[in-house]
Amino acid sequence: MNIIEHLQWRYATKAFDINKKVTPEKLGVIKDAFNLTATSYGLQPIKLIIVNNIELQKSMVPIAMNQQQIAEASHVLVFCIQTEIDQEFILEYFNRVHNIRETPKSILQPFQDFLIDDFEKKPQEQIEIWATKQAYLALGNLLTVCALEGIDACPMEGFLPNACDDLLGLHEKGLKSVLLLPIGYRSNDDVFADFKKVRKPIADSIIEL
């Protein structure tokens, strides 16, 4: 299949086959794809929690509006934002740039100072909204990658983030959950798999100037 055929194939899976598991090799592709996702300034203010524990997944169902895909999926991906985007966080990024690219610190210094000053002025709520937008970029990227790898997925905003954070111990890690993505393989019983996609005509969704 070409990429458009893969995207036509994917859908928000409503029922997973509990007996089919995503292999470590394919999970490795997902990990790499998450880490390669584009983020604002390249700062990567996001982390991915991979849940592969059936009892824990069952415990997550009530906080995910009783969506059974959470328990049925091979794995549940929890997209999180980091709550502390401070001077130390920004300095770590520029140290990576220096070490990997060998860019002189004198060249990096002006942009580094700008970002530190800019983020110090932002209220916490604004920083978390900005970081959440980066999580959505990662979600979109992984949905495409999963489709290309023949992995089914169901993106979810409908869950209780605070309860999820408590259950997974995210507060201690300086993280907040913002999105869920159960992944695996569709069940033969999922009637939604055969539904035609409902999309606007391209002429109604794209404007060419």
Q: Give residue 95's Cα distance to chain centre.
A: 25
Question: How far is residue 42's CA from residue 111's CA, in Å, rounded to a whole number?
Answer: 12
User: Which of 153, 151, 135, 184 has its CA nearest to residue 37?
Assistant: 135
Integer angstrom CA distances of residue 129 from 74, 171, 184? 30, 17, 29
- The rounded distance, in Å, linking the Cα atoms of 188 and 140 is 25
> In Å, how far are 111, 113, 129 from 123, measured between CA atoms?
20, 18, 10
Tokens of 26: 């394919």
Round to whole Å and give the CA distance between 83 and 153. 27
Q: What is the pLDDT of residues 41-62, one digit of tens each?
A: 999 999 999 999 999 999 999 9
| 79, pLDDT greater than 90 | yes
Measured CA to CA, the distance from residue 189 to residue 43 in angstroms comes to: 42
Q: What is the pLDDT of residues 183-198, one digit of tens each?
A: 999 999 999 999 999 9
pLDDT at 135: 98
Percent of the chain with pLDDT over 90: 100
Residue 68 DSSP label: T
For residues 22 and 209, give the distance between their C-alpha atoms in angstroms, rounded to a whole number: 43
Alpha helices in the chain (DSSP H): 3-9, 24-35, 54-60, 69-72, 87-101, 105-121, 124-148, 161-168, 202-205
Helix (H) or strand (E) holding 80: strand 75-82
* CA–CA dist 209, 203 (Å, integer): 13
149-189 pLDDT, tens digit per residue, is 999 999 999 999 999 999 999 999 999 999 999 999 999 99
Nearest C-alpha neighbor of 85 from the set 126, 49, 54: 126
Q: Return the number of other C-beta atoms located less than 10 Å from residue 119's C-beta.
A: 19
Cβ(183)–Cβ(18) under 8 Å? no
